[in-house]
Chain A
Amino acid sequence: SQTIHQWPATLVQPVGSPLSLECTVEGTSNPNLYWYRQAAGRGLQLLFYSVGIGQISSEVPQNLSASRPQDRQFILSSKKLLLSDSGFYLCAWSGRRGFTEKLFFGSGTQLSVL
């Protein structure tokens, strides 16, 4: 069966520090991968999605970046965190069969930038 791992679960970082969040998927190959961010009490905002190794699409201009160095690995990064980067970050994957494909989510990372 497929599983998705996301870590760390919580992270407290000072403003201006770098960021690296990692997500890996097991039990499937060539998935679509996604990074979402959720502000407190709000909906999910798509940050990045990837349809293959090295293929990243950005939905929102910001100081975050994403990379997909391996088929089932998705990394969210920042060189210098801002206060506004605080939030709950969720990684997800889906298959490729079409618009019927649901997303499977990781357990999320709560990021606090102080």
Chain B
Amino acid sequence: AQKITQTQPGMFVQEKEAVTLDCTYDTSDPSYGLFWYKQPSSGEMIFLIYQGSYDQQNATEGRYSLNFQKARKSANLVISASQLGDSAMYFCAMREGDTGRRALTFGSGTRLQVQP
């Protein structure tokens, strides 16, 4: 079974509008972290935002916020006031457990295109 599912292969958004990128996850571990990364065409992976399974509030980082719905096992990324530079691939990822030894498991990604 897929650990991380991103059901939107591609998304379009108008500049200055908000957009939501979907992510659902599957784990039976009570301790886990959820991450979003941005990958522009250059290939670098840029960390955007983190949400821990025990966090009571949704994470926010500037124009990025994470809509964390634990019961639904979803961790959607919301980008407000989209900019042309937001055009990129976006990956949702998860790390399970307390050891910190395990790597992140990534979803298949969503390609976001911001239109002027």
Contacts and interface: CB of A to CB of B under 8 A. Distances in A.
Interface string A81-114: 0000000101010111111111111011010000
A43 B104 contact: no
B107 A99 contact: no
Contacts of B103: 32, 34, 36, 46, 49, 59, 103
B44 A99 contact: no
Main secondary structure of the interface of B (DSSP, over half): loop
B58 to A, nearest CB: 16
A94 to B, nearest CB: 7
Contact of A103 (B32, B101, B104, B111): B104
Interface residues of A, number: 29
B99 interface: yes
Given A43-B91, A105-B44, A108-B44, A99 B106 contact: no
Given A99-B31, A103-B104, 15 more contacts: A46-B103, A88-B43, A96-B100, A96-B101, A97-B100, A98-B31, A99-B32, A99-B53, A99-B96, A100-B52, A102-B35, A102-B50, A103-B47, A107-B43, A108-B43
Interface of B: 31-33, 35, 42-45, 47, 50, 52-53, 91, 93, 95-109, 111
